[in-house]
Amino acid sequence: LIAKLPHVGTSIFTKMTTLANEEQALNLSQGFPDFETDPKLVQLVSAAMEKGHNQYAPMIGAQSLRETIVNKYKAVYAVDIDPTEELTVTAGGTQGIFTAIATVVSQGDEVIIFEPAYDSYAPTIELFGGKVVPVRLLAPDFQIDWDYVATLINEKTRLVIINNPNNPTGKVLGKEDLNKLGKLLAGTNTLLLSDEVYEHLVFDGVSPQSVLSIPSLRERSFVVASFGKLLHTTGWKIGYCVAPVLLMREFRKIHQFNVFSVNTPMQIAIAEYLKDIAYVESLAGFFAKKRDLLKNGLAQSRFKILPCEGTYFLNLDYSAISQEKEFDFACYLTKHHKIATIPLSAFYKQATDQQVLRVCFAKQDVTLLKAVAILNEI
Ligand code: GLN
């Protein structure tokens, strides 16, 4: 039997969604909207198909979509990206992350990740022979001690991975943190992978951050982002990766034999839809309202609500209710109270038990109100 990832099972997102479906529970576990995307966007997809955009897109992505992406970076950060050399459209954020790791990580390389970390990072690093070096951050503030991170960097450190805004903590690394990271990596051979799929979901006056706007980081970074979170289309699986020319050339060597190219009509439709940058700017307000609906609705509950500056996840501390382990408590809530969440421990290599559950608020208001009613009874 060949088992390249013997310690890896089915992802927590699939597990909890399956349980939620079996139990007919409200599913606030896996991060995806339960509302539809804009019908105008769907029409643009059919229009693209009718116009004959049904064959292979260029390997690097449809030209119009690459131009739209470049314009967005120009408008939001005043950053210039070369659409021909520095950008590739991917089949979702996770594929961009996988390919970036595959591009640079070899046997024996060390990769620093910050936990709680998205579940795809560690197995992908290990698949290519890398060694995961986790930096464990704890609730409620998940603060990074950059001096400690500095002690972990050595000549084997190939890559550092950050996720900003962070899934699952909802934390946003600001300019100060990013500048510290920039100083730390200056003069080393360590590269950076910045997973920015929740880039535009930032609240309370926090502005979007990209390492592309920090020159010392940009020169060593792969930036991955995704349209699933931006357009409420997680099922379309379209994202992209930006990197300096030499890194992007290597990335594409792998990309061309992995997915080759990403589905054409949706790329054309997204390019057209996002010509209006105002849509991107409206997204933060849209999700802030949903966060507040959940947060305010739970103010009198027995859950303690952790801070949330970005993403579409809110974390709830249930230590005043139960001392049960997170996974057991999440299963109990799904079975007995008909609401599914994600245990925070799933994002740590060595499970923690902080009595914290992650709840997705990318849901219709009616779903959030149902969740509030259930959680207030617990
Ligand atoms: N990004 C989603 C989440 O955090 C999950 C995606 C997946 O199921 N792989 O819930």
Q: pLDDT for 297-317, tens place per residue?
A: 999 999 999 999 999 999 999
Query: How far is the CA of 321 from the CAs of 130, 131, 284, 296, in angstroms?
Result: 40, 38, 32, 19
Other beta carbons within 10 angstroms of residue 60's beta carbon come to: 22
pLDDT at 202: 97
Residues of the chain with CATH 3.40.640.10: 39-276
Give every strand in the sheet of 131-136, ordered side by side.
87-90, 239-242, 221-226, 191-195, 157-163, 110-115, 131-136
Residues of the chain with CATH 3.90.1150.10: 12-37+278-376
Asked if 308 and 314 touch (Cβ cutoff 8 Å), the reply is yes
How many angstroms is it from 120 CA to the middle of ligand 1? 9
Q: Whose CA is nearest to atom 3 of ligand 1?
A: 31
Asked if 16 and 359 touch (Cβ cutoff 8 Å), the reply is no
Q: pLDDT for 114-159, tens place per residue?
A: 999 999 999 999 999 999 999 999 999 999 999 999 999 999 999 9
Residue whose tokens read 């046997």: 107
Residue whose tokens read 């740590």: 348
Asked if 150 and 135 touch (Cβ cutoff 8 Å), the reply is no
Measured between alpha carbons, how far is 136 from 139 in angstroms, rounded to an integer? 10
Measured between alpha carbons, how far is 373 from 378 in angstroms, rounded to an integer? 9
pLDDT at 350: 86
Give every strand in the sheet of 313-317, ordered side by side.
304-305, 313-317, 356-360, 342-343
pLDDT at 204: 96
Other beta carbons within 10 angstroms of residue 272's beta carbon come to: 18
DSSP character at residue 24? T
pLDDT at 284: 96
Mean pLDDT of the residues in the chain: 97
Q: Looking at residues 229-234, what average pLDDT do you find? A: 96
- For residue 13, give the ligand 1 atom closest to its CA: 8
DSSP character at residue 197? T
13 pocket-lining for ligand 1 (C-beta < 6 Å)? yes
The CATH fold assigned to 39-276 is Aspartate Aminotransferase; domain 2 (3.40.640)
11 pocket-lining for ligand 1 (C-beta < 6 Å)? yes
Measured between alpha carbons, how far is 31 from 362 in angstroms, rounded to an integer? 7
Q: Among 18, 21, 30, 230, say which to mutate for ligand 1: greatest number of ligand atoms within 8 Å of CB.
A: 30
pTM for the model stands at 0.97
Bridge partners, residue 326, by sequence: none
Spell out where the chain has E strands.
Answer: 26-27, 87-90, 110-115, 131-136, 157-163, 191-195, 221-226, 239-242, 304-305, 313-317, 339-340, 342-343, 356-360
Write down the CATH superfamily of domain 12-37+278-376: Aspartate Aminotransferase, domain 1 (3.90.1150.10)
Measured between alpha carbons, how far is 133 from 165 in angstroms, rounded to an integer? 21
Bridge partners, residue 156, by sequence: none
Asked if 237 and 103 touch (Cβ cutoff 8 Å), the reply is no
Q: Whose CA is nearest to atom 8 of ligand 1?
A: 13
